[in-house]
Structures are given as C-alpha cells and as structure tokens.
Chain A
Amino acid sequence: MFQSLPRTLAALGLLTAVLFGAPTARAADPIKIGIALSMTGNLADSAGHYRKAIELWRDMINQKGGLLGRPVELVLYDERSDPATAARLYERLITVDKVDLLIAPWGSASTATSSAVAEKHKRLLINAGGASEKVQERGFRYTVQTAAPISAYVEGIAPLMAKYKYDSMVMVSRDFNAARDMSAALEKIAKEKNIKILNSEYFPAGSTDFSSNIAKGRQLGPDVWVSLAYPNEAIELVRQFRATNYLPKVFISNGVSQEDFLKAAGKDGEYAIGMSLYEPVMKTKGNAEFAKAFVAKYGYEPGYFAGFGYAGATVLAEVVTKTGSLDQDKLRAELDTYETDTVLGHHKIEPKTGLQVGVKGLLIQVRNGKREIIWPTEFKTIDEVLPLPAWEQRS
C-alpha cells in the first residue's frame, strides 16, 4: 500500500495541475485586450467603424500567428456613449476580466474617464480614439495617444484660406471636448493669421435643426463655415444649406470624411471639404493591406474612425513584440521613445504627456461621390474646386 503512495501523490499532483492550471500563462492562452466602446447611444455609429478596424486587426494578427506566439482575444463591452459607464467597465476589464492590455474607448470624454481608471491601476491605456489634447495634459503616465490630436484636424484650414485669400469664418460645432479643443486651436491660428472669427457656437448632441445657425451665417457672410461634427450633423447641415439655398464659399467638417456622409448626402455633399486624418489611398505603411482587407470584410472603404482603431492596435502590438513582454511599466517605458509608421502616418509621442506629435492632418474634398485629398501636397490626389459652386449651377 505504502509502495504505491508516491505514485498516488504524483497522480494527484498531475490532476491538480490539469484542473487548476499552472500559475503562468501557457502558450495557447490568448492575450486578452479589453475595450469598452459605444455600441449604443449617440457615438455608436462612429465607434462602430473603430471597433470594426480593431476586430479586423485581431483577425489579421491571429492569421499571422498572434502576439508573442499567443492568439489575441478582444473583450468588448458597450459603454453606451456614457463616460461614467466607460469608467466602470474599465474597472471591470482590469479587476474582473483581468485583461492583459487595454485600448481606450471611442471619443475623448470616455477616454478621459477610463484613463483615470487605468492610471489608478497603473495599466497602459492606448488612447486610439480620443483626440482631445486635454486628455493627455493631465499628467497621467499610463495613457499614450496614438490618435491624431486636435491640432492635426485643423492645421490645413489656414493654408487653404491663405491660398484663396479668404479671411473670415464661423464655427458651428457639436458640444464635446474635442470640439472645444478644436475651437481653441483654430482661434490661436486665426489670431496668428489675421483670420476673423465672426461667430463661434456649439449645439448639443442630438440637434437636428440648424435654421438659426444658417440664418446667422447668411447675415454674417463668412468665407468659411467650419463644423466639428459627426456625419449625421454634417449630412443634415448640407441638406439644410441646400433646402434654404444657402452656401458659404467653403464648408469644412470632419463629419464629411466618413462613408455615411458620401452615401446619405449624395449630390448635396459634393465639393464639401472634410478634415481627415486618414484616407485609404494614402501611401503609408500597411495601408494598402488594411484598406483592402477592410473593404473585403465590410464592403466599404475605411475612414479615419477606422484608421484610428487600426493604428492604435498596430502600435500596441509592435511595442509588445519589441519588449517581448506584457509588463505595463516596460511597455510604457518603451513607448517614451518608440517611433514607427502606421496607416495614419508617423507615430511619435511627447514622452512627458504621451501626446501624439507625429500624425498630421489632411483635407479632402468630395468629388463624384469619392473623397479626394486636396492638402497637404505630398498626399494630394486632386486639385480643389473653390469657392463651392452655387446650388443652381449643379446638375
């Protein structure tokens, strides 16, 4: 009986190991990446493109053997376009789901709240979807921005205005953090370049009527109308311009740079100018492969919402591969000086704040139902048509 004891103990030990697992991760264990993003609420549409790109990235990296030889698994939650819910869900991702890595939600407001949670737990948060500089300027060590900052959105406006000797603008934007930052950046540029800002106002999320803004625009007669808005608002703005026969010399909005705008605005959207940070035709690293796979999987071309998601995941994967580790402090330290090229362009951060300083902005114009790059020169695909042709001159 006693002769068989060692064998029994060995068998018990083996059984315990099988049942409860070894304390360290096995090669087959997936690397879990946690993200809470809007699947419902007013940011659901834009976050949907961001999510699709990250899911595509997961599929692509898994096809290539995964990360550190392990498959990648996404743990996704719906934060309902609510920053407080986002914070709670990141707490859950860290403490309950025990994910290995974190990517931030879509939008600056939810990124701001979730970054506070990540900081508390000393967890790296890749800020792939929050453009507001204020998110990065709070002194949080663990939040690193791969998304383009607000200043990149607006940097093409002044050169375009200078080219046509336009010197006045109105700003009508949805009220959210990024829009406030954009206004501040534009006001600074306007002061330097002697551009008159005739009116600057914000509308709340969910606004659908722009009668009063258009009446004011007609009265003030600005050369340029700038709106930091989501695609639905950009669609409704151009429709209401057309329906009231109003037209500034230039209409610029980031909402123009999305597929929804092209489809839903139709001919009313022609010649509108979009602030963009990514286009599928850009000759940046990995972009041809990404754009092709995106179109194949989802049936439409990716816009910058999608480009942000893919670039964030790419940078995260590269530093994990380079350090060969999931240690949060090692990853963060590596990111201080890590420079690379992504589908958005060059990635580089300011080490102290984690602010993105490499990615530059673009201006596109809608021409024949497609987005064409008009600025900067190195990415230009077409010469712009300005001022906007009058409604009655369009076919």
Chain B
Amino acid sequence: MPVWELLVGGILLGGLYALMACGLNLIFGVMGVINFAHGDFLAVAALITVSLVVGLGLPFIVAVVVVPLLLAAFGYVFQAVILRRIANGPVIMSVLATFAVSTIIVNGAILVWGGSYRGLPGVLGGSVELFGLHLSESRLVAFVVAMTGSLGVWWFLRRTRFGRAIRSVAQAPELATISGISIDRVRNVTFALGAGMAGLGGVLMAPTFAADPQLGSRFLIKAFAVIIVGGMGSYPGAMAGALLLGVLEVFGSYWFGPTIGSALLFLVMLATLLVRPQGLFGIGLRT
C-alpha cells in the first residue's frame, strides 16, 4: 500500500477543505449564521477568476487580490441589507434567506456564465517533487494559504480588539451593546470577512477543479462537516478536522472504494454530533 502517497494526498485534500471552511467558520462557527450561500460564494469567485484570467488575460495574482475584495463587498451588503433585518428573528429565517440567496446566485451565475465547466489551464497545474512524491502545486498553495489564513483569523479573534468585539457580539450581544460595541457594524464586517475568505477559497480552487455555477454544492456539506468535527468557531479545530477528514477520505476510498470513502466523512460528522457535539477541540468560541 502506498501509505506516503495516500497520506500526502489526504493532507493536501484536507488543506482544500480547510480553505473552504475558513470563511464559513467565521460566519457559521463564530456568528452562528447558517449560510447556505457559502458554497455559491466559492463558485462565483472561481468563475470570476476564470473570466479575469482566461477571458481578460489578467495575471492570476490580480484575481487573488480583486476577487476576495469583491466577495467581501458583496458579503457586507448581503449582511447589511438582508441578514441584519432578521438577525433577532428565529434561526430558520436566516436559513431561508441564505437559501434564497443561494438559489439566486446559482441562477444568476448560469445566466452570466452558462452551465458549462470552465477551467484555468496552465495556472498552478504542475507538481513539486519532494522525497520522491509528486505534490500538486495548486493544492500545496491552497494548503499553505488555508493554514496561514486559519492561524491568522484565530490570532485576530484572540488577540485584537475587533476580534474580541466579534466574539462578544456572537456570545452576548446585549452585553456587547452596553459596552459600546456597534453590533451592526461588527456583524457587517465579520460577514464581509467571511465572504472575502470564501472569495479567496474560490480563487484558489479554480486551478484545481472544473468550475461551474453549481461547484459550491459539491463542497458545502464537506465544509460544514469540517467545522462540526473540528468544533464550531475553533480555527485550530477546523484545521485538525479538515486534515482528519481529508486523510480519512483518501484512505477510506483506497481501502473500501470511493463511495464508502466519501460516506466516512459524514459518519464521522454524525458521530461527532452524537458523542462530542462541541467538536474535537472541546469548547470552541461559541458554547
């Protein structure tokens, strides 16, 4: 059995899952908003990237900068115009609102880009040889960005004044208001950050996967699984969860076939919910 090849493949796959879960962890894990449109943010970001690089001939690095900013702006408006108005209502309202926006985004993307698959041939498509193993360039970059981004957000939430404000708003909004924190502003900025991170995820997914308006649906549930297994709001937990699920999926697929390998992820998610609902890393930022 090619243990090292499978292990490296699993870790790099976990890096991709961590990348997808990065923004979602902020929105779902910290703010507690179940954002069904998160996968569609990834898809739109990947499609915009293809349009910028293939359509307009711009360097990939331009997309790395521009697309997350565009998504962050969209996220800010989405939160300020829609989610803010229903923030104090039952959870089901935000679930339905994000579901509606998800449908609109997918159909809007079909109108703009059509339903076909697009790609970024020639961008980060090669491999890097390390100890006789060939590592995918695009997955390696995604892995590094996911780990750096996760640690960065973790530090930001723990160590900065605004990070503490985000946690206060999520955990005790009334006390936060009394302390002089503008709840609306904090929520708007947090959602924008989460959407921007989804944008970065989408940009880095474009060289790896065939992008189409429904790309997000193939990954959303896995991103939720990563956060649930890792522990809601816990960035170290999400990183560990993503790597664990990536490795499990690759080894599971090798031993039992791809169908059972994919199902293992959800079995672990289910087991976590039943046995350790706080996730691997114990109590996250939200309890």
Contacts and interface: CB of A to CB of B under 8 A. Distances in A.
A242 B124 CA distance: 11
B134 interface: yes
Given A204-B262, A243-B127, A209 B210 contact: no
Interface stretch (B65-73, B112-120, B182-190, B224-232): B112-120
B218 A208 contact: yes
A235 B254 contact: no
B91 to A, nearest CB: 26
Contacts, number: 130
Interface in B117-143: 117-119, 121-122, 125-127, 129, 134-139
Interface string A172-203: 00010000000000000000000000000111
Question: Main SS of the interface on chain A?
Answer: helix
A97 B127 CA distance: 55
Nearest to B5: A215
B249 A244 contact: no
B261 A212 contact: yes
A243 B253 contact: no
B259 interface: yes
A42 B118 CA distance: 15
Contacts of A317: none
B214 A44 contact: yes
A45 B125 contact: no
A263 B118 contact: yes
A156 to B, nearest CB: 25
Contact of A239 (B106, B115, B208, B219): B208
Given A242-B126, A242-B127, A243-B134, A264 B5 contact: no
A231 B209 CA distance: 11
Interface residues of A, number: 44
A206 interface: yes
A202 B250 contact: no
B212 interface: yes
A216 B254 contact: yes
A268 B122 CA distance: 8
Given A48-B115, A201-B258, A218-B2, A40 B214 contact: yes
Nearest to B249: A209
A59 B267 CA distance: 50
Interface in B72-122: 106, 114-119, 121-122
A211 B5 CA distance: 8
Interface string B250-269: 11011001110110000000
B125 A239 contact: yes
Contact of B209 (A236, A260, A267): A236
Contact of A260 (B13, B116, B208): B116
Contacts of A42: 214
Contacts of B106: 40
A232 interface: yes
A162 to B, nearest CB: 30
Interface of B: 1-2, 5-6, 9-10, 12-13, 106, 114-119, 121-122, 125-127, 129, 134-139, 208-212, 214, 217-219, 249-251, 253-254, 257-259, 261-262
10 contacts: A45-B116, A209-B9, A212-B250, A212-B254, A240-B136, A242-B125, A260-B117, A263-B119, A264-B121, A265-B119
Given A219-B2, A260-B116, 15 more contacts: A40-B214, A45-B117, A45-B212, A206-B217, A208-B209, A208-B218, A211-B5, A213-B258, A215-B9, A232-B210, A236-B208, A243-B125, A263-B117, A264-B118, A267-B121
